[in-house]
Amino acid sequence: MRNRFRVLLAVFALACLLCAATSTAVADTGANDWQLEIVSGDRSVVFTAANAAAMESATVSGAMFRSSVGRVEGPFSYRAVAVIDLLAKVGGIHPDQAVRVTARDDFSELYSYAQVMGNVLTFDGKGGVLRVGGPEMFLAYASDRDGSEKMPRIVFTSRDGYAITKGHLWAKSVAKIEVVPDVDGWQLQLDGVEQVLLDRDTFRSMFMCSRTPYPVAFWIAEEKNGSTSQYQGTPLWVLLSMFDGGDAPEGNHEFNDDLAQKGYTVRIVSKDGFAAELDSKLVARNDSIIMAYSKNGDYLAEGEAPFRLVGDLPSKQHSVKGVALIQIVGK
């Protein structure tokens, strides 16, 4: 009887070890005495490690792409809470606002509204651009990788699987999360089969860096005084590929040729509400219809910024200035 008991005890112990080995729990490497301040205007709350442990949290995995050295690090596991839930404690965030995260050493990182809502670049395992959107912005408070000196920290990843996002977004040793006015940025809203919100930094990283896989297009326009100007930008169809539902299985943005040939209307809307419409069959893979972001080597001036539609258009009225919204209508 005693030997049988010992066998049962050994089996139970082995089962416990196997359970521990396969558990997805994250080792608590975060210090349990940290606290940070969440601020918006005259509203502020103190948020502690105990508060984080008491909130609804998620166990997530994420990896960071360090563009400076061209290397992907991770994935690593974290216990984390959604930043959007933290901001709700001080009234939330609006599209004309941003979030400044300050570390204990006073280093700070500014996140646009679009980034806070998860509209950040994601990468494949080799550091190639995949798409915009998918991750969430988390505040991680426990990790299988980072020591207590880095906790809590910002992590951009997905609840399902994991995402690879830019390393500079992963602010560490967070001491303050503050909602501030977004005075420098702009946002381009893409509304169709999917919804994407592009901010200035994400757009420039995606379309204007030396590693971009997307085509650059140019257009020579004649000015009213008879001179010419060179516009530089991205073909409109490339932007449509970000929200027309044609993504590849790997996650890359791909233009939805079938949907374009079935027919829909592309609606381009300026900041002041002026709009022009184009047929999808005209725009499809047409490198001569361009969403321009620069003119004669400089970013567009106030009257045209952030984007102007240029190129082989049906009329001059279609050359919308100050583009803020691109819609797929009648899909």
pLDDT digits 0-9 by tens, 153-166: 999 999 887 889 98
- Check whether residue 156 and residue 208 sit in a common domain: no
Examine residue 145 and state whether it is found in any structural domain, yes or no.
Answer: yes
- Check whether residue 171 and residue 268 sit in a common domain: no
Tell me the pLDDT band of 15, cut-offs 50, 70 and 90: very low
Examine residue 257 and state whether it is found in any structural domain, yes or no.
Answer: yes
What is the span of the domain harbouring residue 34?
24-181
Examine residue 14 and state whether it is found in any structural domain, yes or no.
Answer: no
- Check whether residue 223 and residue 308 sit in a common domain: yes
Pairing of strands 323-329, 187-191: parallel
Q: Which residue has the tokens 């006073």?
A: 106
pLDDT for position 182: 87
Q: Domain of 58: which CATH number?
A: 3.90.420.10
- Check whether residue 137 and residue 204 sit in a common domain: no
- Quote the CA–CA distance of 300 and 308 in Å, as a whole number: 8
Domain closes at, from 181, 216, 238: 181
Tell me the pLDDT band of 68, cut-offs 50, 70 and 90: low
pTM of this prediction exceeds 0.85:
no
Domain closes at, from 159, 181, 203: 181
Examine residue 228 and state whether it is found in any structural domain, yes or no.
Answer: yes
Domain closes at, from 149, 181, 213: 181
Number of Cβ within a 10 Å radius of residue 268: 22
Total domains present in the chain: 2
- Check whether residue 169 and residue 195 sit in a common domain: no
Instruction: Give me 144's structure tokens.
Output: 């299988």
| Whether pLDDT at 167 is above 70 | yes
| Whether pLDDT at 11 is above 70 | no
Tell me the pLDDT band of 26, cut-offs 50, 70 and 90: low
- Check whether residue 218 and residue 313 sit in a common domain: yes
Examine residue 276 and state whether it is found in any structural domain, yes or no.
Answer: yes
- Check whether residue 145 and residue 207 sit in a common domain: no
- Check whether residue 40 and residue 130 sit in a common domain: yes
Over pLDDT 70: what percentage of the chain?
Answer: 88
Identify whether the C-beta of residue 221 lies closer than 8 Å to the C-beta of residue 318.
no
- Check whether residue 170 and residue 304 sit in a common domain: no
pLDDT: is 211 or 115 the higher one? 115
Tell me the pLDDT band of 13, cut-offs 50, 70 and 90: very low
pLDDT digits (tens, 9 = 90+) for 171-215: 999 999 999 998 777 889 999 999 999 988 888 888 876 566 778
